[in-house]
Structure 1
Amino acid sequence: MRSPFDILEVYERRSLAHAVQLPERQFATDVWRGVGYRVGQRRLVSDFREVVEIVPMPPVTPVPGAEPWLLGVGNLRGNLFPVVDLKQFMEGRRTVLHEGQRVLIMRQAGGDVALTIDELFGQRSFELAQATVPGEIAQGRYGHFVDRAFRAEDQDWGVFSLSLLSRTPEFRQAAA
């Protein structure tokens, strides 16, 4: 008499013998991928390696004496982290928060930080041939964080460096 394990092993061998081999998936090396979002009028993308996750806006507890762009402290699965209004930090204008608001969670030394955005576009892929000069996207404070851009569907997308943002002294010092 065969054991249940022996019977399952026979099923596995039979199924593998008849399995259709999927083609090997290769990723083009001349494609740049990231997360697309909007801050103010600018369409930006950040490298996938810089974005930990994207979550709904958590409840925020204000921090007395903090810079106006630091909305407060949020809690995600028991982890506390600062919630920053990215538009206010970059442009001096507050993000209009709405139901369904999303935040990008980025990693920095000392812990994660949530950044409010105006609109989330999700994954964006660009061929290197779509590279363009950043132009207006890199005007003002954005020029420090956007050093390249891509053009797709008649839109310019600035590559916004979250890792550079996290190392900026002003960003790291949120106390007023």
Structure 2
Amino acid sequence: MNNQDPRGGMHFAGYRIGETFCLSPSSSIIAVDEVPKELNQIPGTKPWLMGAGRLDRQLLPFVNISRFLNISLPHLAVGSSALFVKGGEGIGNVALVVDEICGFVLASELRDCEQSNFMIPPGLGKSMRKAVTARGQTWALIDLPALIADDKLQNVDLT
């Protein structure tokens, strides 16, 4: 995936987690794809760990990020798309299942906005860098490597 526009701007991937619209630099994303119908279940894990699947030759955990953040919104569709996120130093790659893929936005379209009235789920707070507007929508700018580095996500208790 090329994260640069031919005119010189960076792309941001747009997605929704619960009711929160998020943007992340596409440089932190390996791929965007549908969740495989058949995932290898891992017995005894948390409900947010959907199982393991492959991206090319690499086996990745599939994490339903809405479940991980305890977001339950029955009126919204359950996610069927995944962002394959590059893990940082000492952290493997992770497939984050999101509620909706909203497309790609150029950096030149982003405008800073006032965060005082902007609400996000508590678990996104550590990875949110700021609120921005683009295309008539307010977005949380999320650092995906920081999100997948969360201790609770990295230390899956199998007992």
TM-score scaled to structure 1, two decimals?
Answer: 0.72
Greater alpha carbon shift after TM alignment, 129-138 vs 53-62: 129-138
Residue 96 of structure 1: how far off its partner (Å): 5.2
- State which of 67, 74, 88 in structure 1 corresponds to 2:46: 67
Residue 105 of structure 1: how far off its partner (Å): 0.2
Report the structure number with the largest CA radius of gyration. Answer: 1
Residue 128 of structure 1: how far off its partner (Å): 7.6
Q: Which has the higher contact order (CA 8 A, sep 6+)?
A: 2
**Structure 2 unaligned spans of 5+:** 1-5
Partner AA of 2:94 in structure 1: V
Residue 26 of structure 1: how far off its partner (Å): 4.8
CA distance in 1, matches of 2:138, 2:16: 11
Please name the residue that 2:63 is paired with.
Answer: 84
| Structure 1 counterpart SS, 2:105 | strand
Aligned Cα root-mean-square deviation (Å): 2.4
| Structure 2 counterpart SS, 1:144 | helix
Contact map agreement 2:14 2:104 (CA 8 A) in 1: yes
List structure 1 runs of 4+ shifted beyond 6 angstroms: none
More helix by share: 1
CA deviation map 1:24-82 (0-9, x unaligned): x6526xxx631001111111011111111111212211111112211111123232110
CA distance in 1, matches of 2:139, 2:107: 10
Please name the residue that 2:3 is paired with.
Answer: none
Contact map agreement 1:126 1:150 (CA 8 A) in 2: no
Please name the residue that 2:125 is paired with.
Answer: 143
The percent identity for this pair of structures is 22
**Structure 1 unaligned spans of 5+:** 1-24
| Count of residue correspondences | 147
